[in-house]
Structure 1
């Protein structure tokens, strides 16, 4: 076997250009498959992190009415939640699955603003716990201090989309913004701070406003949080941690209250399964298209091996005259075909990884190389060599020594 591999490399190196052109179909096919699988896996991971885990293994536990959509989705407020006891929060935070908890207010809608380009500006009433889970990066002005976040000062931090719409001239710091008729001073402009720069969170263009949680009663008339974010210790525990928190919160509600509204979380498992199903179908479709290149490459390998058998007819005749058996000749040419396609497979894997990495530079998403895909591609490239190299190898093994020696 080692001798056959050595002879194969000698033959390939003696016809470098021909060998490269022969491998090109295999290289393109394997590269396309590896790049496609890597992109789909990277996109799937990006969606899981940004949509399912909110970018940092977090999930929202939402208080909403039973049997319908949340009230006020198109207005400024959500269903008013009852007060949450410190004992309930302590029970949630003491669970080993939970890394952090943030109680905050969220309202969205267009009724409080005169905005033209965005569907739903979002207004948050937050404290420092929220920013521990969802950090932001200040681009102008000064971030609100812990003292300000815990006060009833009418100050606000707005994102760049809100600044661009409310203050087209770009000068927003210390200017006034009215929210539900209440004036707020703009203290800072911010942008989202990515937890992982390889994750693309998307640019939705929604104006976002962060107010101190203590000032919320001034604009809504109640101070109980409408949203609870629970951060799990890992992505595997996101759903479980959210359901645990929802159960504890519902257990603290009176029975009469539970009949009207309750805390709930999105079924992330269903979302993940739907995403996985879509990605698999998409991968099969694109993989099937890329496999056409492998078929073309296999035909090229068969063609060049037939040419090689014709060129080396006298060599085959001499080996047979010296006592070489049919299987020795067959395995020699079959090994050469497998080595040729395997080299193409290796180069294809490297090219595919390079293409996938290059794409992540222009379209930010995680760069993930699928080990099973790489192993499958290499095995498949070897199989192409065996399948398409078998006919030329059989032809070589069937040559008669006398006819081969007389061949010119």
Structure 2
């Protein structure tokens, strides 16, 4: 077998241009399959990571209207009816082995924020330090609110870049006082929380946001109970488990009367993510099937060039048979050459596919992931192409009669 492989490489390198052109169909087919699968797998994993765990293994536990459960969306109850969360319950959730972090924060849409003649309707967040640990932001101007300021009744605010642009078209926001529900707040920082995934999935679209100290939230909104409870799991495998556990602890504090109208729950994002991943896999198989048509073309090219090779080496075959070479040895020699030819094309195609996926990722920002099963499957498939399309020329070579082969010019 090793001798056959050595002879195969000698034949391939003896006709370099012809061999490359022969492998081209296989190379293109394998490269297309690898690139498609890598991009779709990468996008699926990125989407799954952001959908299931917000990109950092975090899940939200929400206080949901019982009448809306199972409708496919969340309808939050009035913030005035949401019961306060006991400190003991917070500590109990935080002490669980699969919980890494916890934040009780507020989130709602503003009825209007003003600065002189400018106005915007941002999404408001009343947060503590735990929120900024779970959902880190990048300060582009000024500073971040301190842990002490976040818990106190400080009239400080951080704007994201969109809110800053709408309120301060000239760009100078730091130190200015904005009007929020009739209360002046001083802008101490401008931030961005847009990630690479956000750029890919949403493009340039963002929404105005502002971050307030959690301690002053009741003065703004008129209620103190958190509208969102974010739980960060220790790993992606425990996200859903951590969220459901937190919901159970929170529901244990509710009275039967409260649970009859509303209770804490988490959406099964894992199931949704798995459905999306299954759809993407099906889509990848469809595109891969289309790309594999070029493999068929490449296989026909291999068969054609192997028939040419058999014709060119007819006298060589006749000499080997005259010296006692058996039929199966001749067949194995040419079949090995076909397999080596397509396998080499498969290896080059795999390298090309990974390179194409990486290049697309660098240009567009789309995530990609190298799929080991796709690489192994592509390599095996290229070998099968060599066997299938190399069999006919190999049989032809093995059936040549020694006398006729020796007399061939």
Give the TM-score normalised by the residue count of structure 2: 0.93
Question: Distance between the aligned counterparts of 2:101 and 2:66, measured in 1?
Answer: 27
Partner of 1:388: 389
Shift in Å, 1:248:
0.6
Q: What SS is found at the alignment partner of 1:67?
A: helix
Shift in Å, 1:178:
2.7
> What does residue range 108-187 of structure 1 map to in structure 2 within 5 Å?
108=109, 111-113=111-113, 121-187=122-188
State whether residues 92 and 245 of structure 1, in contact with CA within 8 Å, keep that contact through their aligned partners in structure 2: yes
- How many residues of Structure 1 are paired with residues of Structure 2 in the alignment? 401
Shift in Å, 1:103:
0.6
Question: Distance between the aligned counterparts of 1:179 and 1:7, measured in 2?
Answer: 81
Question: Distance between the aligned counterparts of 1:64 and 1:80, measured in 2?
Answer: 11
Q: What SS is found at the alignment partner of 2:67?
A: coil
The more displaced of 359-368 and 42-51 is 359-368
> 1:70–1:235: structure 2 CA closer, same or farther, 3 Å change rule?
closer
Instruction: Establish whether residue 46 from structure 1 lines up as the match of residue 51 from structure 2.
Output: no
Partner of 2:24: 24
In structure 1, list runs of 5 or more residues that go unmatched. Answer: none
> 1:264–1:71: structure 2 CA closer, same or farther, 3 Å change rule?
closer
> 1:106–1:198: structure 2 CA closer, same or farther, 3 Å change rule?
closer
> 1:387–1:351: structure 2 CA closer, same or farther, 3 Å change rule?
same
State whether residues 150 and 213 of structure 1, in contact with CA within 8 Å, keep that contact through their aligned partners in structure 2: yes
Partner of 1:354: 355
State whether residues 346 and 382 of structure 2, in contact with CA within 8 Å, keep that contact through their aligned partners in structure 1: yes
Question: Distance between the aligned counterparts of 1:233 and 1:72, measured in 2?
Answer: 27
Shift in Å, 1:175:
2.1
Question: Distance between the aligned counterparts of 1:304 and 1:29, measured in 2?
Answer: 18
Shift in Å, 1:251:
0.8
Question: Distance between the aligned counterparts of 1:394 and 1:359, measured in 2?
Answer: 43
Deviations along 1:219-258, one digit per CA (max 9) or x if unpaired, are 1111111110000000000000000000110110111111
Shift in Å, 1:362:
2.1
Q: What SS is found at the alignment partner of 2:166?
A: helix
> 1:78–1:49: structure 2 CA closer, same or farther, 3 Å change rule?
farther
Q: What SS is found at the alignment partner of 1:104?
A: strand
Partner of 1:218: 219
Partner of 2:337: 336
> What does residue range 5-404 of structure 1 map to in structure 2 within 5 Å?
5-68=5-68, 80-108=81-109, 111-113=111-113, 121-192=122-193, 202-203=202-203, 204-404=205-405
> 1:140–1:96: structure 2 CA closer, same or farther, 3 Å change rule?
same
Question: Distance between the aligned counterparts of 1:259 and 1:366, measured in 2?
Answer: 44
Q: What SS is found at the alignment partner of 1:259?
A: helix
Shift in Å, 1:320:
1.0
Q: What SS is found at the alignment partner of 2:153?
A: coil
Deviations along 1:198-231, one digit per CA (max 9) or x if unpaired, are 9967454111110000111111111111110000
In structure 2, list runs of 5 or more residues that go unmatched. Answer: none
Question: Distance between the aligned counterparts of 1:3 and 1:307, measured in 2?
Answer: 22
State whether residues 346 and 378 of structure 1, in contact with CA within 8 Å, keep that contact through their aligned partners in structure 2: yes
The more displaced of 362-371 and 294-303 is 362-371
Question: Distance between the aligned counterparts of 2:238 and 2:259, measured in 1?
Answer: 26
Q: What SS is found at the alignment partner of 2:232?
A: strand
> 1:26–1:79: structure 2 CA closer, same or farther, 3 Å change rule?
farther
State whether residues 113 and 179 of structure 2, in contact with CA within 8 Å, keep that contact through their aligned partners in structure 1: yes
Question: Distance between the aligned counterparts of 1:346 and 1:397, measured in 2?
Answer: 29
Question: Distance between the aligned counterparts of 2:340 and 2:218, measured in 1?
Answer: 74
> 1:78–1:331: structure 2 CA closer, same or farther, 3 Å change rule?
farther
State whether residues 120 and 206 of structure 1, in contact with CA within 8 Å, keep that contact through their aligned partners in structure 2: no
